[in-house]
Amino acid sequence: QVQLEESGGGLVQAGGSLRLSCATSGRTFSSYYMGWFRQAPGKEREFVATINWSGGRLHYADSVKGRFTISRDNRKNTVYLQMNSLTPEDAAVYYCAANTGSISVYATTYDYWGRGTQVTVSS
């Protein structure tokens, strides 16, 4: 069993930055593929970024490529999402998720989820 807890959300002006963190429990964090997803009101949950166990393979949604960076620290059992040049379209609840199988953009392939952290971007 893996427990995930996101933090770092908040209110930021358009053009600003936020760094989300996702702390995980368990001794096998380094074996998990990790992902970030987001869900805005009235919209489906969408993929944002994913990272493999070593941090050597990354994949981003086109909408965030070049602005967001996913990373992980296996010593701290934590995955991060650095978000720069935020726009109102980035406002959503951001979720981190753990996948025991493979790097994936599909929410249905993730086994464990955090409760989310709210990101609000003012124009």
pLDDT value of residue 29: 82
Q: Residues 3, 65: contact at Cβ < 8 Å? A: no
Mean pLDDT by 10 residues, the chain (123 residues): 94 98 87 95 97 93 98 95 98 96 93 97 95
Q: Residues 17, 76: contact at Cβ < 8 Å? A: no
Q: Residues 14, 121: contact at Cβ < 8 Å? A: yes
The sheet carrying 18-24 orders its strands as 4-7, 18-24, 78-83, 68-73
pLDDT value of residue 31: 85
* DSSP string of 11-76, one letter each residue: EEETT--EEEEEEE-SS-GGG-EEEEEEE-TTS--EEEEEE-TTS--EEE-TTTTTTEEEEEETTT
Give the separation between CA 73 and CA 121, rounded to whole angstroms.
27
Q: What is the sign, positive or negative, of the torsion defined by CA atoms of 61, 8, 88, 40?
A: positive
pLDDT value of residue 2: 86
